[in-house]
Amino acid sequence: MNQQIRDLLTFDSAHIWHPYTSLERPLPAYPVASAKGVRIRLTDGRDLIDGMASWWCAIHGYNHPRLNAAAKAQMENMAHVMFGGLTHFPAVELSRLLVELTPEGLETVFLCDSGSVSVEVAMKMALQYWQAKGEPQKKRFATIRNGYHGDTFGAMGVCDPDTGMHSLFSGFLVQNYFADAPRITFQMPWDESDIQSLTDILDMHAQQTAAIILEPVVQGAGGMRFYHPRYVARVRQLADQYKVLFIADEIATGFGRTGKLFACEHAGVCPDIMCVGKALTGGTLTLAATLTTADVARVVGSGDPGVFMHGPTFMGNPLACAVAVASTRLLLESDWEQKIRSIEARMREGFAPIAGLPQVADVRVLGAIGVVEMNAPVDVARMQASFVAAGVWVRPFGKLVYIMPPYIISDTDLDRLCAAMCQVIERYEP
Ligand X SMILES: *Cc1c(COP(=O)(O)O)cnc(C)c1O
CB 252, min distance to ligand X, A: 3
249 is catalytic: yes
Residue number with CB closer to ligand X (64 or 149): 149
Q: Which of 64, 140, 149, 230 binds ligand X (CB under 6 A)?
A: 149
Answer positive or negative: Cα dihedral of 358, 360, 361, 366. Answer: negative
Instruction: Identify the burial level of 49 via C-beta atoms within 10 angstroms of its C-beta, where 0-12 means exposed, 13-18 middle and 19 or more buried.
Output: buried
Q: Which of 62, 129, 148, 242 is catalytic?
A: 148
Please confirm, yes or no, whether 148 is among the known catalytic residues. yes
Residue 277 contacts ligand X per CB under 6 A: yes
Spot the catalytic one: 124, 260, 278, 399: 278
Helices (H), 106-257: 115-132, 153-156, 196-205, 229-241
Q: Can residue 215 be called a binding residue for ligand X (CB under 6 A)? A: yes
Polymer length in residues for the chain: 430
Which residue number places its CB atom closest to ligand X? Answer: 115
Given 249, 260, 402, 428, the catalytic residue:
249
Q: Tell me the C-alpha distance between 305 and 130, whole Å.
A: 13
- Stretch 303-342: interaction string toward ligand X, x if CB under 6 A: ----------------------------------------
Instruction: In whole angstroms, give the CA distance from residue 228 to residue 55.
Output: 23
Minimum CB–partner distance for residue 302 and ligand X (Å): 29
When the beta carbons of 59 and 425 are compared against ligand X, the nearer one is: 59
- Torsion, Cα 25 30 35 40, to 10 degrees, reads -110
Residues in contact with ligand X, counted by CB under 6 A, come to a total of 15
List 95, 116, 131, 284, residue binding ligand X (CB under 6 A): 116
Options 249, 265, 344, 413; binder of ligand X; rule CB under 6 A: 249
Strand order across the 392-393 sheet: 32-36, 39-42, 47-50, 392-393
Provide φ and ψ at 393, rounded to 5°.
Answer: -110, 105
Cβ 30 to ligand X, closest distance in Å? 21
Backbone angles phi, psi at 380, to 5 degrees: -60, -50
Contact indicator for 378, 399 with CB cutoff of 8 Å: yes
Stretch that binds ligand X, among 144-152, 188-196, 335-343, 395-403 (CB under 6 A): 144-152
Cβ 280 to ligand X shortest distance, Å = 10
Q: Does 164 bind ligand X (CB under 6 A)?
A: no
- Minimum distance, C-beta of residue 215 to ligand X, in the bound complex (Å): 5
- How far is C-alpha 74 from the geometric centre of its chain's CA atoms? 26
DSSP letter for each residue of 359-408 = TEEEEEEETTEEEEEESS---HHHHHHHHHHTTEE---BTTEEEE---TT
SS3 category, 310: coil
335 among known catalytic residues: no
Q: Which stretch binds ligand X (CB under 6 A): 68-76, 146-154, 359-367, 395-403?
A: 146-154
Write down the least CB distance from residue 133 to ligand X, Å.
26
Point out the residues that are catalytic: 20, 148, 249, 278
Residues that bind ligand X (CB under 6 A): 114-116, 119, 148-150, 215, 220-221, 249, 251-252, 277-278
